Structure 1
């Protein structure tokens, strides 16, 4: 066997599940969402962009601008502000400021706004960060799975 050839057993796990001939479909297919366009699962770039915009708004505009907290003494204040803003905006409008700018929203699995209690659960888990970093094949973090929500394009 030459150095360029791999044994067959490594081809499946090195190449991922798709190389083994398993078709998992597109993200959101199991949830009945379209593959592209409005209502499709929002991709990673938009989600991270919205998160960064929201974090900057909560850190600079609200914490330093409105609350006048000294940057050297902020501590947990920006995270608390981020959580409160996220819970209030997602619970009432289904999106935060950053999500609105990047044209994505949080939807309940039936397509409507998630409501206040799922937004509270989702927001608290989002502030822990780790649940948001563990995704399933539909690109839903553990915080979205726990709240029965999905982030979709508008």
Structure 2
């Protein structure tokens, strides 16, 4: 029985209702990997921000959002995501578009959308952008 036939059914694995495999390449990225990737990206953004204007923590956020937007749009991954073998794609597997990278990056910077998770393990930022994080 599919999600469309029974919307109250819980998924057996993250990404099941999106048609993603349970494990291996193209499966939904796990939370530990996603959190590790965010830490690496934040660390890199902090270093760049210290070069631009030491002591101004707002620059860290600006660099973080800008880095996510540019790298996701150009490569579908960031430095941290690359280390943890995560790629961001459209639901269905296509490369993300410019507007999707922008929506995702801005919402990621707001933090709260990241904490609102749906049944398939996607944060609100991914859901609104029409994207999903998968294992490479």
- TM-score with structure 1 setting the length: 0.80
Q: Please give the secondary structure, in 1, of the residue aligned with 2:76.
A: coil
Higher relative contact order (CA 8 A, sep 6+): 2
Q: Is 1:27–2:9 an aligned residue pair?
A: no
Q: Please give the secondary structure, in 2, of the residue aligned with 1:63.
A: helix
Q: Say which one has the larger Rg.
A: 1
Conserved in 2, the CA contact under 8 Å of 1:118 and 1:147? yes
> Number of residues paired by the alignment?
128
Instruction: Give the RMSD, CA atoms, in angstroms.
Output: 1.1
Q: Structure 2: any 5+ residue segments left out of the alignment?
A: 1-8
How far residue 85 of structure 1 moved from its aligned partner, in angstroms, is: 0.5
- Structure-2 residue corresponding to 1:99: 81
- Among 23, 37, 45, the alignment partner of 1:58 is 45
Conserved in 1, the CA contact under 8 Å of 2:16 and 2:22? yes
What is the rounded CA distance, in whole Å, between the counterparts of 2:11 and 2:108 in structure 1? 27
- TM-score with structure 2 setting the length: 0.90
Q: Is 1:115–2:101 an aligned residue pair?
A: no
How far residue 23 of structure 1 moved from its aligned partner, in angstroms, is: 4.9
Structure 1 outlier segments of 4+, above 3 Å? none
Q: Is 1:149–2:131 an aligned residue pair?
A: yes
Q: Structure 1: any 5+ residue segments left out of the alignment?
A: 1-21
